[in-house]
A and B are shown apart, each in its own frame.
Chain A
Amino acid sequence: AQSVTQLDSQVPVFEEAPVELRCNYSSSVSVYLFWYVQYPNQGLQLLLKYLSGSTLVKGINGFEAEFNKSQTSFHLRKPSVHISDTAEYFCAVRLSRSSASKIIFGSGTRLSIRP
């Protein structure tokens, strides 16, 4: 079965600094990968997804992630964060060859931005 690990439960950074949120997955077959963002008191929103093709995926709000098959990673990055990026970020995985497979979410990383 597939699984996803987010090693950092919290990441504090200063405003305008770069950030990387780490995500590693485990699966014996090919997968789709996702990052979702949850702003305070809201539901989750899709930030970006990797299905196939270019391993560098660009999402909304200036975020991007790189799929690294050899390291089974899908880290999320942003070169310069803003206060408005304060949220919880969830990495997720889904089997690519099963139309009925469900998305498995990681435990989340809380990003806090300091002015």
Chain B
Amino acid sequence: DAGVIQSPRHEVTEMGQEVTLRCKPISGHNSLFWYRQTMMRGLELLIYFNNNVPIDDSGMPEDRFSAKMPNASFSTLKIQPSEPRDSAVYFCASSLGQNLNEQFFGPGTRLTVL
């Protein structure tokens, strides 16, 4: 099993540019989570999907952030326009069925906005 796959692993962009982060969950998992990790705020849940439907997006910081899950094997997190304070490591995680008790994390995308 390849585990959760995220791309790109590193992204450096300039303020104002659009950024798209991608995630492929583990095959068969139907819950998917997007987290942001920073030194100041720790690990924050941004949004999670179950069966491709957003269940809780209360952690999405503002309208500049959007997430989609068009099918069971793919999700994107988009930031438009990006700002320096968006610099962080973004993790995607997935879990099986309604069992949210074991989430499998991807390696993360390190985003730097200059």
A residues near B (Cβ < 8 Å) are 32, 34, 41-46, 49, 51, 90, 94, 99-108
Whole-angstrom distance from the CB of A52 to the nearest CB of chain B? 11
Q: Of A41, A43, A49, A106, which one neighbours B101 at CB under 8 angstroms? A: A49
Q: Which of B56, B98, B105, B106 has the most CB of A within 10 A?
A: B105
Enumerate chain A residues within 8 angstroms of B98, measured Cβ to Cβ: 99-100
Stretch at the interface among B13-21, B42-50, B61-69, B75-83: B42-50
Q: How far is the CA of A69 from the CA of B42 in the complex (A)?
A: 26
User: When A90-B43, A102-B56, A107-B42 are in contact, do A46 and B100 touch as well, CB less than 8 Å?
Assistant: no
Interface residues on B, range: 20 to 34
> Are B101's CB and A34's CB within 8 A?
yes
Q: Chain B contact residues: over half helix, strand or loop, or mixed?
A: strand
Enumerate chain B residues within 8 angstroms of A44, measured Cβ to Cβ: 43, 91, 93, 103, 105
B residues near A (Cβ < 8 Å) are 4, 33, 42-43, 45, 48, 50, 55-56, 91, 93, 98, 100-103, 105-108
Enumerate chain A residues within 8 angstroms of B50, measured Cβ to Cβ: 100
Q: Chain A contact residues: over half helix, strand or loop, or mixed?
A: loop
> Are A49's CB and B102's CB within 8 A?
yes
Q: How far is the CA of A41 from the CA of B10 in the complex (A)?
A: 11
Q: How far is the CA of A49 from the CA of B101 in the complex (A)?
A: 8
> Are A45's CB and B101's CB within 8 A?
no
> Are A102's CB and B101's CB within 8 A?
no
Q: How far is the CA of A107 from the CA of B42 in the complex (A)?
A: 5
Q: Which residue of A lies closest to B44 (CB)?
A: A105
5 A–B contacts from the bound complex (CB under 8 Å) = A42-B108, A43-B91, A90-B43, A100-B56, A102-B33
> Are B105's CB and A94's CB within 8 A?
no
Q: Which residue of A lies closest to B6 (CB)?
A: A43
A-B contact sample (13 more), CB < 8 A, given A43-B106, A102-B100:
A34-B101, A42-B107, A44-B93, A44-B103, A46-B102, A90-B43, A94-B101, A100-B56, A102-B33, A102-B45, A103-B103, A105-B42, A107-B42
